[in-house]
Chains A and B, each alone.
Chain A
Amino acid sequence: MMKKILKYITVLFLISSLWAQETEYILKSAFLEKFCKFTEWEKEKIDSSAYFYITLLGENEFGELLNDLFSKLKIKDKPVKIQYVQNLHEIEIPPHLIFISKDQKKNLDKIIQYSKINNILTVGDTENYGKLGVHINFYITQENTLHFTINLASVQSARLRINLLLLEIAKVI
């Protein structure tokens, strides 16, 4: 009987997991749009591209959320293209924003170096990513709200400008 119960639980669990909506990532998607709005790239970087590119590097925890949100939006007056890649070598066109997943910790130095050269805003949601050079890093507060750190030195070295409003509300490190 216990075997049966466990079997049913497993099946149910898997089915339900597929249906589950990523509440946390819905919020993160919305934040990404705001970050784009409050960040300035070099003029050439924006002008030279027909699209505004966002790359998700590593495990995709957003599901279809980024496509759903950004398919309806324009950023810097350009339609948005989302790229999903597992490592840096797969990136064909240097994007404007890279979201770095948790599983990329071992490649972080290379990614930060790449973004520095290519004027790319980096965003992550992993403990210590901010200290390690990721420009904007999400963290969960004690009140269970989503806040973020900004590594100002790293932002400046990538030749990006972040609006003062964003700096005022972020934890600047």
Chain B
Amino acid sequence: MKRLLSIIILSSGMLFNQEKIDIDDIRNLSILELMKIKIVTAAKNPEDLLDIPASVAVITAADIKKYGYRSYLEILNHTTGFYMINDYHYLGHKNFGVRGFFSPGSFGNVIILVNGVPQLSDEYMDYPDTKITVPVEAIDRIEIIRGPMSVMYGNGAFFGAINIITNQDSEKNSLTVGGGNYGENHGTIHFSGKTGEIEMRLNAGYSKNTGIDVKYSDLTSNHDIIEYSRNDINATTKNMLESGKKYVDMSFKKRAIFGLFSFNESFTEVLDGIPSIGQGSEITHIAANMNLGFDKKINSNLTIKGLAGYYTHSHRLDYERIIVHAGDMDAKLSRALDFDITANYTNEKYKILFGGYVRSVEELLQIADFPLDGLNRADGEIMIPRNERILTKSLYHQTTWKVTHKIDLMGGFRIEHLSPYTISYNRGLATLDTTANLPPENRTNITGRVKPPGDGYALTPRFSLLYKINPKTVIKLMVGSAIKQPTFMDNLRQIIMQRPFLNVQKIQTYEMNITSILRQNCRTNFSIFYNKLYDLITATNEFSPESGWTIFSANSGKLTTIGTEICTQIQIHPKLNSKFSISYQKTVNDKAGFETYKPGYSPDLLAFLFLDYEINETLTISMKGKYISEIKTEWVTDTSPEAGTRLGEAIPACLTLDGNLMISNLLQSKFNLALGMKNGLDREIRYPTTASNTWIEKGYLDFGRQVYINLTYDF
């Protein structure tokens, strides 16, 4: 900790994307030229951010280049309040905890949008990184809105929304290639054009890496499981954690009409339950999104926007466990449609928004086939029948009232309705070749109708008050809530176990935020928040004299987090920018019987430091650092709470540092070169074990020191 403080003190604060100008540089400019100089980037328009009733962070393409970010996940991992846990999970490796709360599985606590389009996976209502493959070079900016955002974005926006924008800058064309150690290589093209009134954009990219190569015995002390998996005790993860991604997006705009298309494909090798063998277990995701929308200004006060989408998503997981080419397989296919319409009315006093949203999951099918695992395992198919759909309808409203020139009041609500739907679960039926000859006693056919509690209605309110102490300082008081519906798979589990249907999970947040631009180049953002999460779906243990201890899912989880965040951006010198942020949070488990056990995956302290220095017009050097305090694993029990144990070892505090050197207009050409290093101190980066791979009790390992080179050609 002392070391962290020293670094903060010595280097001080992060990016503040000002144009670097000096009085002597601009004396000879014409008045027209002066009018073209940007005083702050669009991303950091102070007035915009001051007026938003939420805690907002914006990362621009310039930030991405300057700090050498390699993926949007790395950006999230360096965002105040966010911390990554990579658990080699079969749906998506990288999940995030936010403000002290982490939900195992793939990432589902924050809505992720690309160009305003939700990237939802309907099966688990999550946003797996394996489904969202947008390369970092295609990104014009990322907006990260923290706080419960269900009023605007609906189900799942527990901790906010992230919008990745790739179609904003219509004049930038570039081609990037790069590579590094761990077999990393990638390429991206970013192209824009205009024909008459039609503006078009194209982004395409691919990336690949070989993953880490460590001994299984560095992940677990359980040598039995290594041997059980038919691995040698000295076997490693070489070729077991490779991954690759492909991405294409195209967009067009003609007057008020616009269209978006994106294609995401990825392969990711995973560890699921036991060590892999052979070429490794691999999951392939393919997702395509097609959207058509309009954005029409009816008059000076009224704007109407609409966006319709069609989404397909499939994945196939081929296992290599115990036997090479075992044929074990898990596959999924889903198709969905949605439509969102909003009307915005604005005058000097009011901003009024009305919206409606409909999402219909037209097809959802999952097939699991484990021929070599024996007849009693999970062979089977899960689906919504062909004449059924999962239909969600929402109406939402938000009004901002400018009470005085110093006070804004904002209130809003969303009513969401989930219609009943049917789930069919067939196991051991003849639909799968490998189980065609199963005897009837090994077959199961369960069909259940999901009837969401409360007749399927959920209400989420939101309220905030903005008080402008002066034009450069705003206090925001925000009260909000968000919901997360039980997923398709949660409901299936209840049907099979003949348990009552689960209620929506809820979060209630109270936050005070002070955003202040103390001087033009010095901004600070301070938040205190209190989050109450309840009705969380967790494993619940119940004892009865007849059947002993039983475990089932119920809305029994309760957590409370109180925390504070401070983020300061300072332009120390026209050529030296700095930013630092610290989050300190305490999370308490309020679940009955578990009050004395600190919740897992909830570090108390997170700190970030960013520095960049412009050596000259073509050379910029930057560094960023991250500190995370100790993370404990989950407290689990098969019986009573006091008989439980931690799932794995606690992960000690860790400090990582990255550096990047950017050379623009290399040798006065249109080439830009970036050289960089991640985890420059070569620290052992570990993440705490989760239910995905309880055998990795020592914790999941991530990359050691990474070096890379990136060459971009702007045209």
Q: Counting CB contacts under 8 A, is A169 at the interface? A: yes
Do A27 and B26 contact each other (CB < 8 Å), given the known contacts A13-B568, A21-B574, A144-B39?
yes
Complex contacts, B471 vs chain A, CB 8 Å:
102, 126-127
Q: Name the distance in Å between B631's Cβ and chain A's nearest Cβ.
A: 17
Asked whether B582 lies within 8 Å of A140 as measured between CB atoms, the reply is no
Complex contacts, B42 vs chain A, CB 8 Å:
142-144
Do A20 and B519 contact each other (CB < 8 Å), given the known contacts A30-B34, A140-B47, A143-B42?
yes
Asked whether B34 lies within 8 Å of A65 as measured between CB atoms, the reply is no
Q: Counting CB contacts under 8 A, is A164 at the interface? A: no
| Chain A window 2-26, contacts with chain B (Cβ cutoff 8 Å), 1 for yes, 0 for no | 1011101100110111011111111
Asked whether A22 lies within 8 Å of B520 as measured between CB atoms, the reply is yes
Q: Counting CB contacts under 8 A, is B570 at the interface? A: yes
Residues of B within 8 Å of A, CB-based: how many? 45
How far apart are the CA atoms of A146 and B40 in the complex, in Å? 10
How far apart are the CA atoms of A31 and B5 in the complex, in Å? 42
Asked whether B23 lies within 8 Å of A30 as measured between CB atoms, the reply is yes
Residue of B nearest to A12 (CB): B12
Complex contacts, B572 vs chain A, CB 8 Å:
16, 19-20
Q: Counting CB contacts under 8 A, is B298 at the interface? A: no
User: Which of B9, B45, B584 is within 8 Å of A8, CB to CB?
Assistant: B9
Q: Counting CB contacts under 8 A, is B433 at the interface? A: no
Asked whether A27 lies within 8 Å of B34 as measured between CB atoms, the reply is yes
Complex contacts, B571 vs chain A, CB 8 Å:
20-21, 23
Q: Counting CB contacts under 8 A, is B31 at the interface? A: yes
Q: Counting CB contacts under 8 A, is A29 at the interface? A: yes
How far apart are the CA atoms of A164 and B518 in the complex, in Å? 37
Complex contacts, B8 vs chain A, CB 8 Å:
5, 8-9, 12
Do A146 and B12 contact each other (CB < 8 Å), given the known contacts A21-B573, A30-B26, A34-B31?
no
Asked whether B31 lies within 8 Å of A145 as measured between CB atoms, the reply is no
Q: Counting CB contacts under 8 A, is A44 at the interface? A: no
Q: Name the distance in Å between A81's Cβ and chain B's nearest Cβ.
A: 18
Asked whether A21 lies within 8 Å of B521 as measured between CB atoms, the reply is yes
Q: Name the distance in Å between A40's Cβ and chain B's nearest Cβ.
A: 16
| Chain B window 1-32, contacts with chain A (Cβ cutoff 8 Å), 1 for yes, 0 for no | 10001001100110000110111001101011
Asked whether A144 lies within 8 Å of B9 as measured between CB atoms, the reply is no
User: Which of B27, B518, B521, B580 is within 8 Å of A23, CB to CB?
Assistant: B521
Residue of A nearest to B472 (CB): A102
Asked whether B582 lies within 8 Å of A30 as measured between CB atoms, the reply is no
Asked whether B568 lies within 8 Å of A145 as measured between CB atoms, the reply is no
Q: Counting CB contacts under 8 A, is B36 at the interface? A: yes
Asked whether B34 lies within 8 Å of A146 as measured between CB atoms, the reply is yes
How far apart are the CA atoms of A1 and B36 in the complex, in Å? 46
Q: Counting CB contacts under 8 A, is B37 at the interface? A: yes
Complex contacts, B584 vs chain A, CB 8 Å:
2, 5
Asked whether A8 lies within 8 Å of B5 as measured between CB atoms, the reply is yes
Q: Counting CB contacts under 8 A, is A147 at the interface? A: yes
Give residues of chain B (33-50) contacting chain A, Cβ–Cβ below 8 Å: 34-42, 45, 47
Asked whether B41 lies within 8 Å of A23 as measured between CB atoms, the reply is no
How far apart are the CA atoms of A106 and B519 in the complex, in Å? 23
How far apart are the CA atoms of A143 and B36 in the complex, in Å? 9
Q: Counting CB contacts under 8 A, is A172 at the interface? A: no
Q: Counting CB contacts under 8 A, is A90 at the interface? A: no
| Chain A window 127-155, contacts with chain B (Cβ cutoff 8 Å), 1 for yes, 0 for no | 10000000000001011111100000000
Do A12 and B9 contact each other (CB < 8 Å), given the known contacts A27-B34, A30-B23, A144-B41?
yes
Q: A-side binding surface: helix, strand, loop or mixed?
A: helix
User: Which of A4, A24, A127 is within 8 Å of B39, CB to CB?
Assistant: A24
Residue of B nearest to A127 (CB): B471
Q: Name the distance in Å between A2's Cβ and chain B's nearest Cβ.
A: 5
Residues of A within 8 Å of B, CB-based: how many? 44
Q: Name the distance in Å between B37's Cβ and chain A's nearest Cβ.
A: 6
Q: Counting CB contacts under 8 A, is B578 at the interface? A: yes
Complex contacts, A92 vs chain B, CB 8 Å:
none
How far apart are the CA atoms of A99 and B150 in the complex, in Å? 46
How far apart are the CA atoms of A9 and B11 in the complex, in Å? 12
| Chain B window 496-540, contacts with chain A (Cβ cutoff 8 Å), 1 for yes, 0 for no | 000000000000000000000011111010000000000000000
Q: Name the distance in Å between A108's Cβ and chain B's nearest Cβ.
A: 15
Complex contacts, B38 vs chain A, CB 8 Å:
143-145
Asked whether B47 lies within 8 Å of A65 as measured between CB atoms, the reply is no
Complex contacts, A117 vs chain B, CB 8 Å:
none
| Chain A window 86-130, contacts with chain B (Cβ cutoff 8 Å), 1 for yes, 0 for no | 000000000000000010000000000000000000000011000
How far apart are the CA atoms of A16 and B522 in the complex, in Å? 8
How far apart are the CA atoms of A5 and B571 in the complex, in Å? 20
Asked whether A23 lies within 8 Å of B21 as measured between CB atoms, the reply is yes
Q: Counting CB contacts under 8 A, is A69 at the interface? A: yes
Complex contacts, A6 vs chain B, CB 8 Å:
566
How far apart are the CA atoms of A161 and B39 in the complex, in Å? 29
Q: Name the distance in Å between B197's Cβ and chain A's nearest Cβ.
A: 21
How far apart are the CA atoms of A19 and B574 in the complex, in Å? 9
Q: Counting CB contacts under 8 A, is A82 at the interface? A: no
Residue of A nearest to B42 (CB): A144
Q: Counting CB contacts under 8 A, is A77 at the interface? A: no
Residue of B nearest to A20 (CB): B521
Asked whether B32 lies within 8 Å of A27 as measured between CB atoms, the reply is no
Q: Name the distance in Å between B583's Cβ and chain A's nearest Cβ.
A: 11
Q: Counting CB contacts under 8 A, is A166 at the interface? A: yes
How far apart are the CA atoms of A104 and B471 in the complex, in Å? 14
How far apart are the CA atoms of A147 and B37 in the complex, in Å? 10
Q: Name the distance in Å between A129's Cβ and chain B's nearest Cβ.
A: 12
How far apart are the CA atoms of A68 and B37 in the complex, in Å? 20
Asked whether A25 lies within 8 Å of B9 as measured between CB atoms, the reply is no
Q: Name the distance in Å between A111's Cβ and chain B's nearest Cβ.
A: 19
Do A26 and B26 contact each other (CB < 8 Å), given the known contacts A21-B521, A145-B37?
yes
Interface core residue of B22, B34, B47, B524 (most chain A CB under 10 Å): B34
Complex contacts, A15 vs chain B, CB 8 Å:
12
User: Which of A26, A69, A142 is within 8 Å of B21, CB to CB?
Assistant: A26
How far apart are the CA atoms of A171 and B613 in the complex, in Å? 37
Residue of A nearest to B6 (CB): A8
15 A-B Cβ contacts within 8 A? Answer: A9-B582, A12-B13, A16-B578, A20-B522, A20-B571, A23-B18, A26-B26, A27-B26, A126-B471, A142-B42, A144-B38, A144-B41, A146-B34, A146-B39, A169-B35
In the A-B complex, list the 3 residue pairs whose CB atoms are closest, starting with the nearest.
A16-B570, A20-B521, A34-B31
Q: Which of A's residues lie within 8 Å of B, judged by CB?
A: 1-2, 4-6, 8-9, 12-13, 15-17, 19-27, 29-31, 33-34, 38, 61, 65, 68-69, 102, 126-127, 140, 142-147, 165-166, 169
Q: A17-B522, A38-B31 are in contact. List 4 more A-B contacts (CB 8 A).
A: A13-B570, A69-B23, A144-B45, A169-B32
